[in-house]
Structure 1
Amino acid sequence: MHRILLLTFFTFLSEGLVFAQARQYRALRTSEAIKVDGVLDESIWQQSPEASQFVQNWPRYGQPETQKTKVRIVYDDIAVYVAAMMYESSADSILRQLTVRDNIGNSDYFAIYLDTYLDKINGYGFMVTAAGVQSDARYSSNGEDRAWNAVWESKVKINADSWVVEMKIPYSAIRFSNREEQVWGLNFRRQVRRNNESFFWNPVNPAVSGFLNQFGQLTGIEHIKSPLRLALLPYISSYANHYPHNTPDKRNATFNLNGGMDVKYGINESFTLDMTLVPDFGQVQSDNQVLNLSPFEVRFNENRQFFTEGTELFNKGGFFYSRRVGGTPLKYGDVEGQLQEGEEIVENPTTSRLVNASKISGRTKGGLGIGIFNAVSPNIYATVENEEGEQRKILTQPLSNYNILVFDQSLKNNSYVSLINTNVTRSGHTYDANVTGGLFKLANKKNTFALNGRTAVSQKFDPELNRPDRGYTLSLSGSKISGNLQYSLTQVIETDKYNPNDLGILYNNNEVSQIGRIAYNIYRPFWKLNNLYTSFSTAYSRLYRPDVFQNFWMNAGVYTTLKNFYEIGTHVNVEPVKTYDFYEPRVAGRYYTFPTNVQIGSDFYTDGRKKFALGLHGRYRTFNENNRQLYYVEISPRYRVNDKLSLQYNFNTRTVQDEMGSFGENVRNDSIFFGLRNVRAISSTLNSSYIFTEKMSLTLRARHYTSSALYRKYFALNTDGTLTEANFDQAKDVNFNTFNVDMVFSWWFAPGSEVSLVWKNAIASDGMEYTPNYLSNVNQTLQSPQNNSISIKVLYYLDVLNLKGKSQPKAPALITSI
C-alpha cells in the first residue's frame, strides 16, 4: 500500500501542462478625487493603462473574448479604484436580474480578484452585476466563502453600446502586508450571461487545479498604509411570540426586548478583531428538521452570520463544527432520567445562549496566518415541577468556554502547513475536551501532483478518571491534481477513542480505510458536449480495533454539459460483499450484516438562463435482502417572473421498503431488537423573493416535511450479525411532521444599517396519527399547535473615522443603484 502511494505521488505522466506567462498591470497613483458614479470623466482614467484581451474560460477555454472588455485601476491613500468598460454588440440583451446581496442571479457581471499576499492560496473577490448587485467573497484552501461581507462602493451605468462598472475598494476592506511597494495577485472576470460565456484577463485553465495560482500581478501600488479600522454595529430587537399552551401557569403570548453590539477592529494592517456582545440569532433561517432513525446525529447548516463570515482559517482541516457553540446543551437528553416521582418537565432549552464570541484573524507578510476564536455560554438549566407545583432546576450545560487557535503557513507552489487546536473548558465536574491537529499540502512546481496529510490527537479530561481519554487520527493522500487524467490514493486511520465532537463533528471513528479514485475529464467542447467528467472510486474499510472487515464499495459516474447548456449526470454505486455494520446496533462490539446492494442515480438540469428552469434527480437502490428497495425522486422547478420576482419550488420524496433498523435503547436481557419497516419521507419547500428597490427586499421560505416509519415484524440480533424473528412489544410506528415559514422584509435605510422585520411560523409534531394521504397529512400538521414569532431588529453601522470627520469609504448597501 505504501509503495503504491509513493508511486502515485512521484510518477509523472508524459502529458504536460503549458503555463502562459502571467500578465502584469501597473496601477497609477491619482491625486484627483474619484467620484464613483459609473461615469468615467476623471482625467486619470484616460491616462492609466488598460487591461484587455480577455480569454474565454467557459465554455471554450482558450478562445478570445466575444465581447471586448477594458479595465483600468488607479489608487490613492484611501482605496483602489476600478473602472471596467464592458462593450456590447446588443446592449438591450444584457441580463440584469435584481437579487439580494451576494446572489448573482441571472445577470451579467464583472469581478476583480486580489491576492494581496501573493501566496496563491488566499484572496478576495469583489463582484458587481449589470443590475448593480454587489457580491464579495474570501478565497482560501477551503474554497470560496460568500458569507464574507466588506465595506466598498460600486456604481453601474448602462450605455448604448456598453455597460460600465466603477468601484472603490478601500484598504479597510482588505488586509495586506506592510511594504513600501505592494505586489498583489490580480485577475478580472466578465460573464456574458445570455451566451453563458465566462472570460478572464489572466487565463484560468479548467484543467489546472486551483484558482488564485492562475492570477496575473498588480504592481505600482506604493507607500500605502492600512487606515484605522474600527466599526461599531449596535442593535436593538424586539420579539412577540405566541404559542397556545392554554394552561394557567403559562402565558400564550410573550414579549421581550434585546440589545447588543458587534465590534470590528483592525489591530494592524493584517489582523482584525471581530466580536459580538450579547448576540441575537433569533432571526436566522429555521433549520431543516428531519426524522432521524440513524445512529448518527444530523448535521445542520450554519446560518448565524458571525459563524459564517471570515472563518476560513478556523474551518481548515474540518475540526470545527460551529453549531456546537450555542448548540444543544450537553446533558439535554439526561433530564427525563433525573425526574423524581410525580415530576414533569416544564422547560428544557434545546439551545445554549451565548454571552459573547470573538475572533482574531489575519496573515503576516511572511505568509503566516493566525486565527484565535473564543466564545462563552452560561449555565443552562431545565425546569421540572412536581404535583404540588414546586419547581426545581436541573443543570444541562455548565458554563462553557470554547477556544480555537490556528497557525497556517503558506508555502510556495500553492502549498501550506497548518497547526490547529480546539478546546472546550467547562466549569464544575463536567469533562473538558481538547483536539490538536496538523495538516499540510505539498505540490510540485507545475501544480500537477500533490501530497496531502492530516493528523490529530483528541483528549477528554474527566475529573473522575486518572488520565485523559486519548485518541488519534492520521490520513495521507497522494494525487495527480491537474490535467485530463487525475487520480489519488488515500489512507485514513481513526482509533477507537478518537473523538473531536465537543467542537467538531465526526459520525464514526474506529476505522482504517483505503480510498482510490481515478478520473478523466474533457474540458473543451466536442461533438454535442461542452465538457465531460468521468470518475471511478473504490474504498476498502476495516475496524481499527478489533481488526475486522467492515465495508467495500465501488462507484462510477459520468457528468456532462450539452451544447444547449442542459446538464446530465449518472452514477452507479455497488457494495458487492456484505457490510459488517458496527453502528446500527447502537451497542459496542455488536454488528449487523448489511446486505449487498446496487444503487443507480441520475441528475438532469435545463438551461438556467431561461425564465423557466427545471432540475430532476432520481436514485434507485436494490438490496439482496427480501424485497428491500430504496427510491428517491426530486423535482426542482424555478420560474423567474421578471427581474424583480422569482419563485423556486423543491419537492423530494424518499421511500425505503422493508428496511431493517435497530430500536437503539431497547435492549432486553442482552438482546438487541430490530424492526422490519417501511420508511417514507416527503419534503416540500417554496422559496420566493421580490426586490422592491436597490435597498428593499422581501423573501419567503416555506417548508413542510413529513416522515413515517411503519413496523411490520420484529427481530433479535444474533452474535453473528444475522437476525431472528422475535416478539417485541415496545415498538411503535412513527409519524413526524414539521412546518416552517420564514418571511423576511429587509430595508437598508443607511449605508450598512438595516431594519429587518421577520415573521416565523413553526410546527413540529411526532404524535400524529399516520395517514397515507399526503394532503390529509399536511392538513393535520396545519391543525397542530403553532409557534408564531414576529420580530423587528434595527442594526446601525457606525464608523469611528466617520465620526471623527475623516474621509472614509461608505458602508455597503444591499444593492448598489444604477
Structure 2
Amino acid sequence: MRRFLLLGWLILYTGAAWGQAPATVSAAADAAKVAPKRKLQATRISTPLKLDGALDEAAWQAAPIATQFYEYEPTPGPIEKHPTEVRVLYDDNAIYIGAIMHDVSQDSILRELSARDNIGNSDWFGVFFDTYNDHLNAYEFIVTSGGVQFDARQSPTNGEDGNWNAVWDSHTALRGTDWVAEIRIPYSAIRFSKATEQVWGLNFGRQRRSSRQKFFWNEVKPAVSGFVNQWGELTGLKDLQPPLRLSLTPYVSAYVNHYPYNEQGKQNMTTSFNGGADVKWGINESFTLDATLVPDFGQVQSDNQVLNLSPFEVQYNENRQFFTEGTELFNKGGLFYSRRVGATPLGFGGVEDQLRAGYQNDDGSRHRGEFIVQNPGVTRLLNATKVSGRTSKGLGIGVFNAISNDVYATVQDSTSGARRDVLTQPLSNYNIVVLDQSLKNNSYVSLINTNVTRAGSTYDANVTGGLFRFANKANSYALDGRVVYSNRRGKAFGKEDDVTDQDGYKYYLSFNKISGKFTWGVDHGIESHSYNPNDLGLLFANNNISQSLYANYNIYKPFWKLNKLSTYASLSYSLLEQPRLYQDLGFYTGGNTTITKNFLTVGFDYSLIPVTRDYFDPRRTPLGKYYVRKPANTGLSGFISSDYRKKFAYDLNGGVRLFAADGDRTGRTSASLSISPRYRVSNQLSFVYALSVERNQNQIGYAGGLDSSLPYDNGFLTSFGGDEGDVLLGRRNVTTFTNTTTATYTFTNRMSFNIRLRHYVSNVHYRDFSRLHPNGIETPEPAYERNRDNTFNAFNIDAVYSWWFAPGSQVSIVWKNAGSSFFEANAATPLYFDNLSNTINTPHNNNVSIKVLYYLDYLALRPRRG
C-alpha cells in the first residue's frame, strides 16, 4: 500500500510540474475574457439565387463581407493568413450564405468524401445561428469541400448534438486556388421570433485540414467557458415571416427474414411489408410537432452485445433517429433513457414460469406440457410525438409522448397443439414535460417531469426534477444544482400481491470556477435508497452519498514542442445513504497533449483507490449486510492517437490495474489493450480495424445464491433478491476479445456503402469458490464442485447502402446478420479461434430490407399565386 501512495504522489507532482508555464496574472485574466462582438449586416434580396458555387450574382458582390477570422487551433488568437470571405443574403423564404476560402493551391484543400454528418479528412466551412440570441442554444450548418453536409444543435445539455437533422441545400466548387461554399437554409429548418427587426447570434467557422487549423470569425477563446456566448451578431434582418412549417416523410419498407430455428413443418423464411410516416408541423413560429406513426426501426445498427457479470444492466446506444434528433430539451437532468421506450417487455423473462407442466393421465398416457412458440423481445410502438421549441423570452418547452401496445408471448400445448397468449407487457404510455428558462450570463433554470402509465394494476412511475445553473457576469464562476423526486404506485407486473409503492429523492450541488487556465470545483450529492428513475431513465445504483473535489490546469497555446496541454486531479469519497456505511475513496489524475511536429496526441490516467466495499455485487437487499471487499489498488492507463491526415493512422490504448494482497489471495490484476489501425485508400474508400483485449486475473465476483445452511446453488439472480442466505463468490479469470472491421465506400456526397463486422467473445474460468457471510466475511467453500465456466460469443454484420436522392429523401438497403452462442461447463473454451469457428458455424439470423423515405414539404407543394 505504501508503494501505491508513493507512486501516486510522484505522478501528481510530476504532472503539476509539467503543467507549469510562465504567465502573468493579467495575461491569464485577459485570456478568460469574452472577445468583443463583431457585427455583420445581412442584405435583403428579391430574386432567389441559383446555388452553383460561383457567387457571381450582383447581390453577392454588393453585400458586406465578414473576413479576418481568428485562429482557434492550434494557436488561439492570430488572424488567418489565407483569408475567408463570407456574405449573408436573405429573402422571404430563406437565408443564403456565400463563402470563399482562399488557399495556397488546390492540393492544400483536402476533400475526402464521407456519409452525411461525417466530416472525415476534409476542409469545411460552417455557419452558426443563435436565432433567439440567448447565448445558450443555436444551430450549426457545416459543409465540407467535398460537398458533404453536417448539421447540429448547440445546447447547455448536449453541447454539439450531431443527431439533429434539417433539410437545407448547399453547393461547393473549386475555383483556382480557392474553394467556394454556397448555402441556402430555408426558414422552415430553423425557429425564430416574429419581431419586425431581429438580431441573431452569429459565427462562421473554417477548417484548413492540411495544417490542422480551425478559425472563427468572432474570436472564440478556449479559456472562456461556453461556445455560443462567444459569437458575434447578425443585423439587418427585417420583416421575416416564419413560414408554415409542415412536412410529411412517408416510408415504405420490405423485409426478408431467415431464421435458423422455427416451428416444425414451417419455413424458416418470412417476408413483411410496412408503411408509416414522420410528420413535422410548425405549430407557430417557436414550436414544432414531430410525430412518427407506426415507426419502423428494423434498419438501425445492431447493438454491441456483451457478457454482463455485473449486478447492473448494460447501457446500449440509441440508434433510432426519432429518439436522437432534437432531444436536447428532453435530456435535461439526465432523466430520459430513450431505450426504455420500446424496450424488452416487463414479463419477457417470466414466460417459462407460466408454462403448464407435463403430467401423466389415469390411463397411463403422458401429457408433455407447454413450450414457447414466440416471445417478442421488443415492444412495438404505436406512435411517438415530440413538441418542442423556445419562445422569444427564452422559455423552452418540450412535450414527449409515446404509446406502446400490449405484447403477448405465444405458448403451445405439446400434446393437443392448442395455443394461448401470455401477456408480457400491458398497454403503456410514456410522457415527458420540460420547461427550460434561459437566463442572463449563460444561466438557466429547468423543470422536468417523466411519467410512465401502464394499463391494469401494473405499477405506474413518475419522476419530477428541478435543476439550475447560475453564472456570474464575468462568466468565471457557476453554481449548479438539481433536486429530483421519484415515486412508483401499483403492483409488480404479474404479481398481484407484490405492491411496489416507493418514493425516493436525489439532490446534487456543485460550485465551480469555469474559466481561465486553472479551473476547479467541489460537489456533493445524495441518491436515496428508494430513489428509482429507471422506468424512463437510467440509474445503475442508488443509495449513495458522494462528494468530490477537482482541479484542472490547461495550456491552450503551443509551447516547447507541444501544441497544448490539459491536466486534471480529483478526489472523491462515497458512502451508502442507508445504512450510513463507507463505500470507497479515490484519487485520480491525468493529462493529455498534442505534439507539435507530428500531431501525435498522447495522454494518461492514474488512479489510487484504498479498500472498497461493494454492496451491490452480492445482490442482497436491503443493502449493507453483505459486501465484497476490494483491496487497495492502483491503475495506470494511456493512449496514443496519430495524425488522421495521413493515409495510415492508428489509435492505441492500454492500461493495467494492480491490487494489493488480501490475506492469502495475491496476483489479482486487470489489464487491457486495444489497437485500431485505419487506412484511407482514396478520398472515397477507407478501412478501420479495431482489436480489443481485456484480461481480469483472479477477479472476485458473484457466482450465485446459497442457502444459509446448505452448500448448493440456488441459481443465478437476474435482479436484486431479498435476504435469502449467504452468497457464493467465485475467483475467476475473465478474458474478452472484441474484433471490429469497418469498410466504407462513398460514391458521391449523397451516396455511400458501409459494412461493419463485429465478433465478441468472453470466456470465464472459475478457480475456486467461497461463501460470503454478513459483514464481508468470506470462508472457503470446498464442497462446491460445480463447473461454472462459460463462454459467450456474439457476431454481427451490418451492411448499409444509402442514397439521399433528394433533400430529406433517402433509399436505404440493409443486410443484417446476427448470431450468438453461450457455452457452459465443459463446453466452454478459452481458445479464440475455436470460438470464432463455433460462432461462424452456428446458425445465424439473416435480414435483408429496403426502405424508401420521401420528404414532402408543404411550401414546395402549395400552388403558387400569380
TM-score, shorter chain, exceeding 0.5: yes
Counterparts of 2:668 and 2:168 in 1: how far apart (Å)? Answer: 57
Work out whether 1:693 is the aligned partner of 2:709.
no
Work out whether 1:244 is the aligned partner of 2:277.
no
Which of these residues, 652, 655, 667, is aligned with residue 695 of structure 2? 655
Which of these residues, 413, 417, 426, is aligned with residue 398 of structure 1? 426
SS at match of 2:506: strand
Equivalent residues, number: 794
Partner of residue 574, structure 1: 608
Which has the larger displacement, 330-339 or 716-725? 330-339
Letter in 2 for 1:307: F
Q: Is the contact made by 2:102 and 2:177 (CA closer than 8 Å) also made in structure 1?
A: yes
| Cα pair distance change 1:250/1:585, threshold 3 Å | farther
Give the CA deviation at 1:92: 2.2
Partner of residue 741, structure 1: 797
Letter in 2 for 1:744: V
Letter in 2 for 1:633: L
Cα-to-partner distance string for 1:339-395 (whole Å, 9 max, x where unaligned) = 331333222221111000000000000000000000000111122233213322221
Partner of residue 840, structure 2: 782
Q: Is the contact made by 2:125 and 2:205 (CA closer than 8 Å) also made in structure 1?
A: yes
Percent identity between the two aligned chains: 53
Letter in 2 for 1:363: R
Give the CA deviation at 1:35: 1.0
Counterparts of 1:695 and 1:471 in 2: how far apart (Å)? Answer: 50
| Equivalent residues in 2 for 1:286-305, closer than 5 Å | 286-305=302-321
Give the CA deviation at 1:746: 1.3
Q: Is the contact made by 1:245 and 1:251 (CA closer than 8 Å) also made in structure 2?
A: no
Which of these residues, 17, 20, 36, is aligned with residue 21 of structure 1? 36
Work out whether 1:703 is the aligned partner of 2:758.
yes
| Equivalent residues in 2 for 1:55-454, closer than 5 Å | 55-142=70-157, 143-245=159-261, 247-341=263-357, 342-388=369-415, 389-454=417-482
Which of these residues, 544, 548, 551, is aligned with residue 518 of structure 1? 551
Work out whether 1:754 is the aligned partner of 2:810.
yes
Which of these residues, 590, 611, 614, is aligned with residue 647 of structure 2? 611
Counterparts of 2:803 and 2:707 in 1: how far apart (Å)? Answer: 55
Give the CA deviation at 1:214: 0.4
Letter in 1 for 2:487: Q
Partner of residue 474, structure 1: 507
Work out whether 1:44 is the aligned partner of 2:77.
no
SS at match of 2:333: helix
Give the CA deviation at 1:32: 3.1
Counterparts of 2:850 and 2:265 in 1: how far apart (Å)? Answer: 28
Q: Is the contact made by 2:146 and 2:749 (CA closer than 8 Å) also made in structure 1?
A: no
Counterparts of 1:455 and 1:74 in 2: how far apart (Å)? Answer: 46
Letter in 1 for 2:350: D
SS at match of 2:774: coil
Q: Is the contact made by 2:726 and 2:774 (CA closer than 8 Å) also made in structure 1?
A: no
Counterparts of 1:244 and 1:150 in 2: how far apart (Å)? Answer: 40
Give the CA deviation at 1:665: 4.8
Counterparts of 2:316 and 2:204 in 1: how far apart (Å)? Answer: 35
Counterparts of 1:215 and 1:777 in 2: how far apart (Å)? Answer: 55
Give the CA deviation at 1:729: 4.8
Which has the larger displacement, 726-735 or 694-703? 726-735
Cα-to-partner distance string for 1:788-817 (whole Å, 9 max, x where unaligned) = 01111111111122221349xxxxxxxxxx
TM-score w.r.t. length of structure 1? 0.95
Letter in 1 for 2:62: Q
SS at match of 2:210: helix
Letter in 1 for 2:693: T
Which of these residues, 607, 621, 638, is aligned with residue 657 of structure 2? 621
Cα-to-partner distance string for 1:628-686 (whole Å, 9 max, x where unaligned) = 11010010111111000011111101110111110245555412101111101111111
Q: Is the contact made by 2:793 and 2:822 (CA closer than 8 Å) also made in structure 1?
A: yes
Give the CA deviation at 1:719: 1.3
Cα-to-partner distance string for 1:106-139 (whole Å, 9 max, x where unaligned) = 0000000000011111000000000010110001
Cα-to-partner distance string for 1:138-165 (whole Å, 9 max, x where unaligned) = 0101211101111111110101121110
Counterparts of 1:685 and 1:785 in 2: how far apart (Å)? Answer: 20
Partner of residue 599, structure 1: 635
| Cα pair distance change 1:732/1:251, threshold 3 Å | farther
Give the CA deviation at 1:730: 5.3
Cα-to-partner distance string for 1:530-551 (whole Å, 9 max, x where unaligned) = 0011100111001111111111
Counterparts of 1:650 and 1:805 in 2: how far apart (Å)? Answer: 53
Partner of residue 14, structure 2: none
| Cα pair distance change 1:781/1:442, threshold 3 Å | same
Work out whether 1:536 is the aligned partner of 2:562.
no
Give the CA deviation at 1:45: 1.0
Counterparts of 1:519 and 1:381 in 2: how far apart (Å)? Answer: 53
Letter in 1 for 2:686: S
SS at match of 1:610: coil
| Cα pair distance change 1:632/1:491, threshold 3 Å | same
Give the CA deviation at 1:465: 8.2
Cα-to-partner distance string for 1:564-584 (whole Å, 9 max, x where unaligned) = 2100001111112x1111100
| Cα pair distance change 1:541/1:532, threshold 3 Å | same
Runs of at least 5 residues in structure 1 that lack an aligned partner in the other structure: 1-12, 808-818
Which has the larger displacement, 245-254 or 492-501? 245-254
Give the CA deviation at 1:468: 4.0
SS at match of 1:204: coil
Partner of residue 458, structure 1: 486
Counterparts of 1:430 and 1:692 in 2: how far apart (Å)? Answer: 52
Q: Is the contact made by 2:37 and 2:218 (CA closer than 8 Å) also made in structure 1?
A: yes
Which of these residues, 660, 673, 677, is aligned with residue 633 of structure 1? 673
SS at match of 1:62: coil
Q: Is the contact made by 1:32 and 1:44 (CA closer than 8 Å) also made in structure 2?
A: no
TM-score w.r.t. length of structure 2? 0.90
Counterparts of 1:394 and 1:685 in 2: how far apart (Å)? Answer: 39
Letter in 2 for 1:25: L
Q: Is the contact made by 1:441 and 1:451 (CA closer than 8 Å) also made in structure 2?
A: yes
SS at match of 2:775: coil
Letter in 2 for 1:365: S
Partner of residue 10, structure 1: none
Give the CA deviation at 1:731: 5.4
